Structure 1
């Protein structure tokens, strides 16, 4: 039997080989290639240079600005979110930064599959009647490929940061703008490109992890649909649709099919979960309005289809110039789309006028340059309106628990790690920094689940540059079992954990027992067995606490 060395990546080679065989076979079967001819007719040297420049720019930001080069899976994120209008660095970088490698790869694949369709529809060689290549700066193929297209990408990225709701990060708003532009001009090609992106992602994952072995284990997660920036994706899509509509009408392109446009927008929007309209109730609870979201997506697809397929005729024949009915029919749909964009963007303008409060953080904090880091529970959110805003009598105050990061200079006040997240992981690093510098603070939790109480006695430490600060500890937690008419409590201290025994005659405290070393308090003997703490008295043995373990 043939003995194949284990270091040869057979699974990866099989995936690559079959893909190459398919490409070669299709190339031979389709000679001469009409696709290659079409690409050379619309692209400079047959390549989507604007797309490649945009991808290179996003990759540069991740590797060198966010320090992804030295920490591929955990780049700096906090300094590069769009926190508010009072933090220009975040607004300028948010659309081109990413929260992690998976986030980056997903958006790069989306760009490489959808942006070329939009770039192809626009073209490096002008198609307007009477125009010639190199006839002007705007019609120069090199300028169109290397300056105008990347410049529009940068401008759309800034718009998605400025008008997105919340401290967004990621290139996905621009990816949706590529899709919107392409759906107006090439709806079915866009759907095909979108599906091909799924194929590319599967191939990438196959190369990254050709075999995956999974076992059942507890995980901490929020619903997938609650992690999607629906509002940012929607305004990106609408920006692209409006740009595509403007370009198509400038060229007097042939009237597009309403059905194709409707089908393209609907299929893309459903596949990308634009229907996932949700609300956060607090306390880790989210509400998904699936039916309402589906209806909104259908209405959006219908509006786009009717707009792109509308004629250039005025609403009423022979209407006087300047009269409302002299407007072109497609322009009515464009105005409605603009109103939709305004309605989606309006709440973001109010939100982005919030900044960090001047109040000190609760408890013990750690300072790193202009950042302050602490851990607190059930404290008011430290964002405050820069101007007095009162809307429908509603309060913008919400309470939060977890690792809190504040920077007065940057206008940042955020729960970087939630209480539940830290309780699941036990240890989490928070990366801080700015342009040209970086640092980190690590939050570490330890604790004991107290039997019969439903609560945990725990502490949270912050570790910075080798220095450890106790940021938080709970009050004593009483166990449910009562032994010999005595109540037992677990007490967190700066040095560790104590056990407290209370009875009518008084209260005594002593250290938590360690392996092979017991503790006797008030006539009750406490012993440790693995992670569990047992109380023994008069032949009775009861577990009173168990040390936390983390994933």
Structure 2
């Protein structure tokens, strides 16, 4: 049997060989020279330079501003979200920053597939009849490739941050704008390119992890659709659609059929889960309005199709008085799309004018420069408490529990780690900082699961300089009654106590250590590894066990 030396990456080698063989075979069958010539007619030297410059800029922010160069999988995130208009640093960097390596990779793959198509449609060379390259700075292919296209990308990203609803982060709004721009004139080609991005992402993942072993086990996660910045994606798509329609009409290009436009927008919206309209009720509860979301994307696809396919003729003519409505039919649809965009932008303006009030956080906290960090449970969310709105039985006022980060100067108030997530993992590190610096605060939880009851636990906040006890639960009573007495576990600053209560009298003392027993009010308590047992009159029952984490 043929075997390869252990140092040869067989799986990656097989993947590359398969891809090279496929490309070689297609080169023999087709004529790549024709494709090359076509690219050179639109691109300077046949390359999408604007896309490459944009990708380099986004990657540079991740590596050198967020610290991904030294910590690829754990970049600095909190200070680079779009928190408030009063924090311009977050607004400026939000669209070009990312929450992690996977987030970055997904958006770069989308950019490398969809942006070249948008750039091809726009063209480095002027397409207007009678125009010549280098006739003016606007027709200079170098300026169009290296300045104008990246500048438009930056402006679209910045507008996405400024008008986003909530502290968004990521380049996905611009990726959706690329898609919207391309869907106007080449809807089905855009869908083909969109799915080619899935192929590219699979190739990347296969090269990084040729084999993946997984086993069943508990996992803490929120619903996948709760991670989608739907308003930002919709705003990006509409921006691209408006730019694409404007360019197509200015060039007097022949539009695609309404059916093609409708199918292209609908397929893209479904493929990117733009139907996933949801609401956050607080306390880890989310509501998905799937039927409403699907109806909305069908209506959007129809409006786009009618706008793209409509003629230049006025909406209505009067034989005696000439044109009654001078606006072209396509301009009506264009106006509707602008109004839809405005409806998405409108709520974000007052929201982004709000900033953290700077009120004292509940409980004990630690301070890292201008940041305050604490742990609290069932407190009003500092980002939504200023707006008490109700719609369809849902309210914007919610409570939150977990590790809370506040910075009055930056307008930041966020639950960096939820209570459920900390209970699942036992510890979690919150990375704080700004341009040129970073620091960390680690939340650590320990506790005892009380038999028949809930959990008695403590939460500590740890920095390089101090350890603070930020939160303790009250006493938690065990369900078994031992010798007519109630037994409770009580968190303290130094550890955990046992409290034995009978006839309104309480005897209390520390939990026993390993191989040591203690007696409180005639009940003997012993520890067996992580379990605490109570012994009385020949009866032995478990009253608590140490909490375990994943």
| TM-score normalised according to structure 1 size | 0.96
2:432 alignment counterpart: 432
Measured against aligned partners, the alpha-carbon deviations of 1:382-441 in whole angstroms (never above 9, x if no partner) come to: 34788xx77679975432111011101111111111111111111111000011111110
Measured against aligned partners, the alpha-carbon deviations of 1:142-190 in whole angstroms (never above 9, x if no partner) come to: 0000000000000000111111111000000000000000100211111
**8 Å contact from structure 1 (residues 164, 232) kept in 2:** yes
Structure 2: which 5+ runs fail to align?
none
Question: In 2, distance between residues paired with 1:534 and 1:69?
Answer: 51
Q: Post-superposition shift, 1:4?
A: 2.7
Measured against aligned partners, the alpha-carbon deviations of 1:298-337 in whole angstroms (never above 9, x if no partner) come to: 1111110110111111112479999761001110000000
Question: In 1, distance between residues paired with 2:88 and 2:117?
Answer: 32
Question: In 2, distance between residues paired with 1:442 and 1:222?
Answer: 21
Question: In 2, distance between residues paired with 1:443 and 1:282?
Answer: 21
Look up the SS of the partner of 2:206 in the other structure: helix
My pick for the range that moved more, 393-402 or 48-57, is 393-402
- What are the residue-to-residue correspondences of 1:139-288 with 2, within 5 Å? 139-288=139-288
**8 Å contact from structure 1 (residues 354, 385) kept in 2:** no
**8 Å contact from structure 2 (residues 318, 324) kept in 1:** no
The 1:296–1:4 alpha-carbon spacing in structure 2 relative to 1, beyond 3 Å, is same
**8 Å contact from structure 1 (residues 255, 311) kept in 2:** no
Measured against aligned partners, the alpha-carbon deviations of 1:22-78 in whole angstroms (never above 9, x if no partner) come to: 111111221253221111110000000000000000000000000011111111100
My pick for the range that moved more, 155-164 or 277-286, is 277-286
1:457 alignment counterpart: 456
My pick for the range that moved more, 12-21 or 309-318, is 309-318
Question: In 2, distance between residues paired with 1:21 and 1:182?
Answer: 31
Question: In 2, distance between residues paired with 1:29 and 1:271?
Answer: 31
Measured against aligned partners, the alpha-carbon deviations of 1:242-296 in whole angstroms (never above 9, x if no partner) come to: 0000111111111321111111101000010001111112222211111111111
1:76 alignment counterpart: 76
What's the C-alpha RMSD, in Å, of the aligned pairs? Answer: 1.9
Look up the SS of the partner of 2:139 in the other structure: coil
1:292 alignment counterpart: 292
1:58 aligns with 2:78: no
Q: Post-superposition shift, 1:3?
A: 4.3
1:497 alignment counterpart: 496
My pick for the range that moved more, 29-38 or 179-188, is 29-38
2:505 alignment counterpart: 506
Question: In 2, distance between residues paired with 1:342 and 1:254?
Answer: 28
Structure 1: which 5+ runs fail to align?
none
**8 Å contact from structure 1 (residues 320, 326) kept in 2:** no
1:525 alignment counterpart: 524
The 1:270–1:390 alpha-carbon spacing in structure 2 relative to 1, beyond 3 Å, is closer
2:110 alignment counterpart: 110
Look up the SS of the partner of 2:167 in the other structure: coil
Question: In 2, distance between residues paired with 1:390 and 1:433?
Answer: 31
Q: Post-superposition shift, 1:518?
A: 2.0
Look up the SS of the partner of 2:316 in the other structure: coil
1:421 aligns with 2:412: no
Question: In 1, distance between residues paired with 2:98 and 2:324?
Answer: 45
Task: Kindly tell me the number of residue pairs found equivalent between the two proteins.
Answer: 548
Question: In 2, distance between residues paired with 1:505 and 1:30?
Answer: 90
Q: Post-superposition shift, 1:506?
A: 2.3
The 1:134–1:546 alpha-carbon spacing in structure 2 relative to 1, beyond 3 Å, is same
**8 Å contact from structure 1 (residues 354, 384) kept in 2:** no
The 1:372–1:465 alpha-carbon spacing in structure 2 relative to 1, beyond 3 Å, is same
2:362 alignment counterpart: 362
Question: In 1, distance between residues paired with 2:320 and 2:507?
Answer: 94
Q: Post-superposition shift, 1:530?
A: 2.4
**8 Å contact from structure 2 (residues 316, 323) kept in 1:** no
Measured against aligned partners, the alpha-carbon deviations of 1:116-144 in whole angstroms (never above 9, x if no partner) come to: 01000000011011111111101100000
My pick for the range that moved more, 128-137 or 310-319, is 310-319
The 1:320–1:524 alpha-carbon spacing in structure 2 relative to 1, beyond 3 Å, is farther
Look up the SS of the partner of 2:355 in the other structure: strand
1:301 alignment counterpart: 301
2:135 alignment counterpart: 135
Measured against aligned partners, the alpha-carbon deviations of 1:470-529 in whole angstroms (never above 9, x if no partner) come to: 111111111111000111111111111111111127211121122212222111111222
The 1:53–1:102 alpha-carbon spacing in structure 2 relative to 1, beyond 3 Å, is same
Question: In 2, distance between residues paired with 1:274 and 1:363?
Answer: 40
My pick for the range that moved more, 288-297 or 116-125, is 288-297
The 1:526–1:390 alpha-carbon spacing in structure 2 relative to 1, beyond 3 Å, is closer
2:475 alignment counterpart: 476
Question: In 2, distance between residues paired with 1:259 and 1:265?
Answer: 10
**8 Å contact from structure 1 (residues 319, 325) kept in 2:** no
**8 Å contact from structure 1 (residues 355, 385) kept in 2:** no
**8 Å contact from structure 2 (residues 186, 256) kept in 1:** no
1:548 alignment counterpart: 547
Question: In 2, distance between residues paired with 1:320 and 1:211?
Answer: 75
